[in-house]
């Protein structure tokens, strides 16, 4: 599952207000200045400090997030740039970016450390 698929699954699975804020946070990440590790920290805090009304929805979305995090974020150091772009849904942004914009995406995906 990639980042965009996770967002779509969350959108389909629950219309809870807390889930809507989670989706908004996830969507905004693509254009903010934080990297993938900072994203993981913020989402973990989000799940720890927010109460999704339906426990089944919470468990389902957290399980999917944990799976994504294990595959895409914990394993990011061993990925090629193309794999990182795929997992985080940033191909289009990368390809249309200037060289400076591409450097921002390299940093976002922890590819220049």
* pLDDT attached to residue 112: 81
* pLDDT attached to residue 43: 97
* pLDDT attached to residue 113: 52
Is residue 92 within 8 Å of 4, Cβ to Cβ? no
User: Mind listing the pLDDT tens digit of every residue in the chain (113 residues)?
Assistant: 999 999 999 999 888 999 999 999 999 999 999 999 999 999 999 999 988 989 999 999 999 999 999 999 999 999 999 999 999 999 999 999 999 999 999 999 999 85
SS3 3: helix
Q: Where are the domains of the chain?
A: 3-108
**Cβ–Cβ contacts within 10 Å for residue 94, how many?**
19
Return phi, psi of residue 109, to 5°: -100, 20
């Amino acid at each position: 599952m990639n980042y965009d698929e996770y967002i779509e699954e969350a959108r389909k699975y629950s219309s809870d207000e807390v889930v809507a804020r989670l989706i908004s946070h996830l969507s905004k990440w693509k254009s903010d200045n934080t990297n993938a590790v900072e994203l993981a920290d913020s989402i973990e805090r989000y799940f720890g400090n927010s109460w999704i009304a339906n426990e089944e929805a919470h468990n389902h979305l957290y399980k999917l997030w944990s799976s994504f995090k294990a595959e895409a974020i914990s394993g990011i150091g061993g990925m090629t740039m193309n794999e990182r772009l795929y997992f985080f849904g940033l191909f289009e942004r990368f390809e249309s970016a200037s060289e400076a914009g591409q450097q921002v995406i390299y940093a976002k995906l922890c590819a220049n450390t």
